Every structure is written in C-alpha cells, then in structure tokens.
Amino acid sequence: MNTIEKKGGNPLLSIYFTAGYPELDSTIRIAKKLEEAGADFLEIGFPYSDPVADGPVIQHSSEVALANGMTVKKLFEQLRELRQHVRIPVFLMGYVNPVIQFGVEKFCEECKNVGVDGVIIPDLPMYEYEDLYQETFEKNGIANIFIVTPQTSTERIRKIDSLSNSFIYLLSSNATTGKTLDVGEDTNAYFKRIHDLQLKNPLIVGFGISNKEAFQKASQYTAGAIIGSAFVRRLGEKDYMDEIPDFIKSIKG
C-alpha cells in the first residue's frame, strides 16, 4: 500500500527541513508543529558537507546543522521519540556518502526502528540500489524514492515506477533547490507527459515551489508538491516556531 495517498481531491503538501537547523534539538519540535499546522507528510534532511543539488538556503542550513553537531547517529537518537508526536508519513532525505559511512543495513534498520517510511537519496544510482540495496530496503519496509527530471526517458520512468512502492519525486526542473518554479508551457507539458503515463505510484513535485500559486499549478497533474527552501528560510527568523502555522496556511489556504 502507498504511504502517500491523495485525500478528498486536495493536493498533498510535503515540507522539507534540515535536521539540526536552526538548533540541534529543534528537529522533533518542528516536525510536530508542521503536522499540527496541516502538512501532509515530511522530509527531514540529514546534512552533508557537500550538498551539490541544494541551493544556498539549504546549503546554509546544512552548514549550521553540522556546526551544531548534527550527524546521522544523532538524528536517529532524536527520532526515537518521533512517533510519540508525529503520525503523518516521514521521509529522510540526503546524500549517499553519509548513508554508506553509517552502513546501509544499519541505516535501514534504524529507519524501521524509529518509524521512518522511506528515504530520498538523489545520488544513489538506480542500478546500484537494485543490485546492492533493494533487498535490505524492502526487508525493513523502507521505501526508496526515485527522482524523475524533464530529461528522464519514458523507459526509465517505467522502470522507476516498477521499483517504487510509495511515490515518485518529480523534479520541476534541472536547477538546484531554491529556484522559483516557472510553470510555463514547457513545464506544464512535462508534468502532463508524466501524468499521462498512468503510473501506479503517485507523483510529487519538488524544486521551486514557494507559494500557493506555484503549489496549485504544480499539483494540477500530480498528487501534490514539496516545499523546501521557502520553509527553511523561515526557520532562520527569530520566532520561527510561531511562523509555522501561518506559513502552512499561506500555501494550503
């Protein structure tokens, strides 16, 4: 069964934030507040020293989190109490190096133990996942979320769909995170092309979604969208916890 399901025709809103930012111990508090405010599922980033796919806002949050002392081990320690406070689906997002250093099997086991539903690792090649790690992921009930870009071939998309058991992350463009989404004719055609493939897994759009208009446009052909940089930017403000309900309301209405 998919962990991500569209309810009542309303698009799903996922929020990304970096574990350990702005404070080392803010991870669970932010997750809890996001659920209370109406987020449908969460992506918690584990910081890495070389976040090549991320724009300046998320890069900065990773630098601060690492300086605060955040590690994969520390994150799992914090997530031990996750399911006491949060019921919506939760995914971890990051780069493959920290996962390999921690140990892939141990990483999947820890995800299972703390109640994480899946992971998004953009630089984990599909063939490597299939050959080396798929069995470990599936044994622990952890979904591996694959990424589709405007350049991804139909053949590869079908393959991704066959390997997936939660949702497919549809990159709005090939830009780094934090760029504003321009939903013009080309982007609409791209979203429609993927939608018309009638894949078994729901599509969730990420990269460049920063306001209600972009969220609604991105969700026309998909199950919903992910907001990252626009939210992480808010976490840099003084009263960031108080800002969360208004931020979610500004997107979902």
Residue count of the chain: 253
Distance CA 52, CA 109 (A): 27
Query: Of 35, 40, 43, 117, which one is the catalytic site residue?
Result: 43
Residues 6+ apart with CB under 8 A from 161: 168, 197, 199, 200, 201
Tell how far CA 231 is from the center of its chain. 13
DSSP state of 1: -
Contact (CB, 8 A) for 22 and 29: no
Query: Of 40, 54, 110, 117, which one is the catalytic site residue?
Result: 54
Task: Tell me how many helices (H) and strands (E) the chain has.
Answer: 13, 9
Angle of helix 104-114 relative to helix 72-79, nearest 10 degrees, comes to: 20
Nearest alpha carbon to residue 79 among 92, 93, 88:
92
Catalytic annotation present for 237: no
For residue 141, what are its two tokens?
């009930």
Residues 6+ apart with CB under 8 A from 208: 172, 173, 175, 177, 178, 179, 180, 181, 182, 214
Catalytic annotation present for 135: no
For residue 38, what are its two tokens?
């109406």
Contact (CB, 8 A) for 225 and 11: yes
Q: What one-letter code names the amino acid at 159? A: K
List, by residue number, the catalytic residues.
Answer: 43, 54
